[in-house]
Structure 1
Amino acid sequence: MPVITTRLVMASTALALFVVSSTSALAQKKYDTGATDTEIRIGNIMPYSGPASAYGVIGKTEAAYFKKINAAGGINGRKINFISYDDGYSPPKTVEQARKLVESDEVLFIFNSLGTPPNSAIHKYMNAKKVPQLFVATGATKWNDPKNFPWTMGWQPNYQSESHIYAKYLLKEKPDAKIAILYQNDDYGKDYVKGLKDGLGAKAASMIVAEDSYETTEPSIDSHIVKLKASGANVFFDVTTPKFAAQAIKKIKEIEWKPLHILNNVAASVGSVIQPAGFENSQGIISAAYMKDASDPQWDNDPGMKGFLDFLAKDFPEGNKLDASVIVGYGVSQTLVQVLKQCGDDLTRANIMKQAANLKNYRTEALLPGITIDTSPTDFAPINQLQLMRFKGEKWELFGDVISGDVGG
């Protein structure tokens, strides 16, 4: 009898331990809408049509990358369900698509939706809903505001930081510059202009001799280029998107204006801007970079570039390696995968933001050497560094040091 009692006690103890450990294991798994044991549902909004459709390839790259991740088993055993919609770069359409993703598709969060005006249109909605608006594909400075908008985070260097770097260059290399600015008439364009003026400081008033803006609905910006040439400027600060950047390069050549041409990073793609505008028309243009350029032979033996090219060959053969948007889509996708890995089995929206705000010296395979991704609960600007580059022959050539363009720094 004592033996039987002992065995029963042991069995009961083992059963209790099993129940406790099972309950504990279950307790460790935390999900919000859009996450389960098998799935992570992610929303995305891209301009697959409209004036910024050149950027649509970012969404296509991301879809291909997540398909690759799923084929390898997913993230912590869960497959990514990537739902991407077209908004035509139209803010009212963005609102419609965001509501559909959050309220109908019930995604866990919205990732890397493109454009400053589109993301501005859903900024308050996403924060009111407490749904992450993560790694938005725009460098507007306002995405780094964790106190007032704790559910929104950027990814790329912010536009004001980038403009600060151009200002530093001009003050050093061309202090007598007469600058003409063309910018998109929205928050995106105005952010770059503010950054340049702040970077030039007291000299901005005397150095900037002309400013002109264009609307994304305009078929051509040729008349703006002619107007700015008439100002007598010898520096042209070109704040555009790919379609209009290519037009500007062609028109400058056609009217034989020969300013120092500074082109913002998001319009500096060889494949979607420089090549269509003509290599011969693009010599000497200055821009800034934070990602490696697949057209640059210095990366031929780079393990990160080899990984990117292998991804294109196996998983995204239609991707053009010369299109800078493709490597951007690749790099930001890798960053998201890192965040989701850090989340483990706590796939709540709060933990998504907590982990996104806890990236330390992280590097995707696509970043230039010396540039890292760092965030904190008080700093929602993952990338703060860039390196200047000049177009020569059929590729960009980096020059100078990696520079921090921190706003206020």
Structure 2
Amino acid sequence: MQTIPTRSRAVAAVASAGALVLLLAACGARDAGSSTDAPEGGTTSPGITDESITIGTTSPLTGNAAGVGTCAVDGATAYFETRNEEGGITFGDGKTRTVEFRAYDDKYDPQRALANFQQMQSDDVFGAALSLGTPTNRAWREAAIDAEFPQVLLQTGDPLFSDRSESPWQLGLLPVYQQEGEAFGEMLAASGTDHRVAILYQNDDFGQGYVEGFLSAVEGAENIDIVEELSFEATATDVNAQITELASSQADVFFNAMSSLAPLVIGSLQQANSIGWLPEIFLPSTSASPGAFLTPSGVADNFPAIYTTASSMNAGSPAFAESAEGQEFLSALAEHTSQEGVPAFPQCLWSWIGASVLEEAFTTMTEPTRESFMDALRSISDFPAPFLLDGGAIDTTQEDRPAMRDVVVQEYTGTGFTPVG
């Protein structure tokens, strides 16, 4: 297990296997009382003092998903380092604290993610936020519930994490996968044009969720014909065979429910182009970045249209770069992370948005406990977080919804995306 430090602070070394067992055994006792540096006067949770709070995250910082995983960390790192330089955040109990955002590398491996959660407990981390990935977050979901350990504002559209009755210590950040698929299906069904649709989906909760939403939206639509449906494993090295088979269906729409696995996303576009199959394409918001996927493919402009969905602004748009908030974001990334220029992945921006939601919860939590934090986090309504699309707001009060709920279908313009209609 590897822990990756931010640029400005080192992270404690990983404990040995024997020491880890002892620390885990002691963790429950610390949860019941106050930690060594606990705020004065009452029970407190690990990871928070009068001066600071430690928030952890587990994401792929090395391996095939390192680019997107690093971006998922860097946005929050830049946000909190900026706030720390300004003197910290004033919490609801009147204390001003700095935030240590500590990142743990899971290489997009569920077992490593589980080990990282165990390490967070040993390291007296208060709670985890903004962790990337569906299988990696699921790997320690039950353990977090059992430990009453916050696992929140997750960068996954898995609806399981936003069902408060089933998952009281978790909360998703992003719109659920079904919402994205449904939005595209509604647009297609309402087009009034006959379409033959070929579907390729990642054979896990990610891909199946997108397809579920899409199929529910086009059910009964007389102008939509699903002509082929194939799956692939996220561990695949390419999907060339699937693309060739889908092309034989002569579909004019390609619904590609593929996560942010750059070689597969780029390869799917290149293979379709090479065999002369040029349908309209739908890509999930996680895999539609112009800088990371579309431009590098070299063939994106050959397709008649590429669509995705969005809930936030595009960091690559001129309006973003010209805004005061956009300039603050890009400057903070450049100062506090290794990101240079406009980040290739939207997860940087989502992480910054999520960090602002954490700050909103901090300002209203009245006790230095995980319970008080969850109460505060679950009570946010109509919060105008930065970089949401017009009319968008954060609402965490609904029983079965993530923090970001609104999605808009967008079309690729050659350099970025613009809302349809």
| TM-score where L is the length of structure 1 | 0.85
**1:205–1:116 Cα change, 3 Å:** farther
Q: Which of 63, 87, 103 is the equivalent residue of 1:73?
A: 87
Bigger CA drift: 35-44 or 55-64?
Answer: 55-64
Does the alignment pair 1:42 with 2:55?
Answer: yes
Does the alignment pair 1:340 with 2:362?
Answer: yes
1:78-120 deviations in Å (ceiling 9; x for gaps):
1222221111111111111111112x11211111111111111
Query: Higher helix proportion, which one?
Result: 1
Q: Is the 8 A contact 1:51 1:217 kept in 2?
A: no
Tell me which residue corresponds to 2:29.
none
SS at match of 2:54: strand
Q: Is the 8 A contact 2:378 2:397 kept in 1?
A: yes
Q: Which of 290, 311, 317 is the equivalent residue of 1:296?
A: 317
Looking at structure 2, the residues matched to 332 and 106 of structure 1 have their Cα atoms a distance apart, in angstroms, of 22
- 1:99-178 aligned at under 5 Å gives the runs 99-102=118-121, 104-173=122-191, 175-178=193-196
Does the alignment pair 1:230 with 2:252?
Answer: no
Tell me which residue corresponds to 2:388.
367
1:23-75 deviations in Å (ceiling 9; x for gaps):
xx955x76211111122111110011233223122113322322222222122
Does the alignment pair 1:190 with 2:208?
Answer: yes
Looking at structure 2, the residues matched to 361 and 44 of structure 1 have their Cα atoms a distance apart, in angstroms, of 26
1:301-349 deviations in Å (ceiling 9; x for gaps):
43432332333344446244142222122211222122112225x1211
Looking at structure 1, the residues matched to 120 and 223 of structure 2 have their Cα atoms a distance apart, in angstroms, of 45
Q: Which of 354, 373, 392 is the equivalent residue of 2:375?
A: 354
**1:62–1:204 Cα change, 3 Å:** farther
- 1:211-250 aligned at under 5 Å gives the runs 211-242=229-260, 243=262, 244-250=264-270
Looking at structure 2, the residues matched to 174 and 212 of structure 1 have their Cα atoms a distance apart, in angstroms, of 26
Does the alignment pair 1:61 with 2:75?
Answer: yes
Letter in 1 for 2:403: P
Does the alignment pair 1:89 with 2:83?
Answer: no
Looking at structure 2, the residues matched to 206 and 393 of structure 1 have their Cα atoms a distance apart, in angstroms, of 27
Q: Is the 8 A contact 2:189 2:223 kept in 1?
A: no
Deviation >4 Å, runs of 4+: 203-206
Structure 1 runs not aligned, ≥5 long: 1-24, 401-409
Tell me which residue corresponds to 1:328.
350
Q: Deviation of residue 273 (structure 1)?
A: 1.1
Q: Deviation of residue 131 (structure 1)?
A: 0.6
1:112-165 deviations in Å (ceiling 9; x for gaps):
111111111111111111111111110112112101211010011111111111
SS at match of 1:35: coil
Tell me which residue corresponds to 2:20.
none
Q: Is the 8 A contact 1:283 1:393 kept in 2?
A: no
- 1:303-318 aligned at under 5 Å gives the runs 303-316=324-337, 318=339
CA RMSD, aligned part only?
2.2
Looking at structure 2, the residues matched to 282 and 302 of structure 1 have their Cα atoms a distance apart, in angstroms, of 32
Bigger CA drift: 138-147 or 65-74?
Answer: 65-74
Does the alignment pair 1:396 with 2:417?
Answer: yes
Looking at structure 2, the residues matched to 230 and 379 of structure 1 have their Cα atoms a distance apart, in angstroms, of 40
Looking at structure 2, the residues matched to 175 and 269 of structure 1 have their Cα atoms a distance apart, in angstroms, of 28
| Higher Cα radius of gyration | 1
| TM-score where L is the length of structure 2 | 0.83
Tell me which residue corresponds to 1:180.
198
Structure 2 runs not aligned, ≥5 long: 1-38, 91-95
**1:177–1:85 Cα change, 3 Å:** same
**1:108–1:377 Cα change, 3 Å:** farther
Letter in 1 for 2:100: N
1:198-248 deviations in Å (ceiling 9; x for gaps):
122234997222111111211112222112111222111111123122222
Q: Is the 8 A contact 1:282 1:391 kept in 2?
A: no
Letter in 1 for 2:382: N
